[in-house]
Structure 1
């Protein structure tokens, strides 16, 4: 190969190598400039206008889920009512059979009385040869009279029971009719809400897919939150029982008239931070409410503690928000499910009981009744 040919080959190779390196470098740079955003970041970074649109859609989504849950509850109640009616009808059939049987027995007894006539009783007594025979005949007559009374009593009891069971059936049927009406209303509302939601999404034109993605992501995170809150509720209820809440966490002050206990916000949150299932939760005690937040999940619930029984504090939510968007009361119930946040103070209070609770800025105050006996 001559020098000219070798020179041309080297130039061509250099150009190809330069192009390949430039392509890969550009791809890497582009990938670094626009890293993919996570769900959390996407929702935080949306504009105020996007947030308002998403909030409207999110409210509709919540209302649809609430109606679906109500519809499910109504259908379960209808199923239970139908099963109860089947049971009652079986009981009524049995009672009617007993009633007819006792009626027939009573009719036979009356026919015997009629055949015997009014003079028969006297003849039975007068024809007795001795005292022993007389006593036997008197006992037979007494048993016959007693059995007649029992039959009459059994008929009356059966009649009352039948009347009661039939009244229950009528009430159940009325309940079914009413719940069926409510079920139809719930279904109609759900369909209307879905139509409204679909119409709203359609009006967004090209952005419709984007908001559907937002909603799907929010629903996914809320499903994860349900699990998290359920686990948190179990851990929360066991804080005192497992010794995680030290005795000095409640500062006691004794006066002439009562005993007060104080739990401050900082101490409470420090205790929660040590629990794996509760470490993401933060409590804020204010004069008129308690706020529970999970900052990483953008969830805030506000409400208050109420006393259950003698020594249990139970959190009752009133409002809530998710990514700054309000949660419907019915949806908050669904979010918490059966996992109420309860704090059993019995291990600390012993025989003593809670009388009242006051929310203060930065702490909660417990009014404790001392029980000496």
Structure 2
């Protein structure tokens, strides 16, 4: 099943009147790890203390949990809490947040929209994973209402964005700093919706890149799926070959497919396996200049888009900058998001569900 022993994503939950603590999802229930494993690290209201223990502890704990769930369930059963009895919280304390731009299809589409008649990809794009630093304090858990941001829309113009958009992304959660292989640092993945105000972004982003058009809210799933649970595939061929520090040392393409629903209707299914830059290259690049890692760092892939219209990961691509409105059931149309719209992004890797991230515009 999607939430079986091959998955076991971590999250933070609470029951009414009780403090938040760490659990693992199993089926439609949450295993209370502090009680089941008799380990106070899971009594913390965040995953950070456990993530800081490192890769060996992650592996050993995952093995222990699987043994408990496949062994004598009479012992474990009292510590399994139905999901409908809990509240889910932000699963980890976000230290820093970096957003990348790793889909060639997405970068090419935006290049054609913003710079028609020019080469869609800027000269640096094939040589390094382009990214920017976001605001860790505006990362929120799925279900948090999204306030339509105000900002400068042009010279002398200030007001609420008229072009509120989504970006379907995959986020990578850093467990420990230091040196080592990619999997020594990265604890797991979470789904990301990097909400974007396209009109604010278009006016402000030259010459220093994204700022207020993106920093008002980034939603993540309440579940962090361990890296160990995900099937890996070879990364996409790269031309020209990357510099030595970006050369891949293993297969870090991930074979998963996302699904975007707007007000309950599926509007796109972006494939992650087609991403040009892989997460090991993102991590190598973001630290190559000397920036240290910290437990709880989050770096995201950028919008995941495929080559087909129904594989695009943002509304600006789906509606081609609003010139071809999206037609919804019942006759509704959208170019960008309206107040009251609910967006849900989910993903699966084979039979493994990564859950979903949801937000409603207010």
Normalised to the residue count of structure 2, the TM-score between the two structures is: 0.20
* Larger RCO, structure (CA 8 Å, separation 6 or more): 2
Whichever of the two has the greater Rg, that structure is 1
The structure carrying a bigger helix percent of its residues is: 1
Normalised to the residue count of structure 1, the TM-score between the two structures is: 0.20
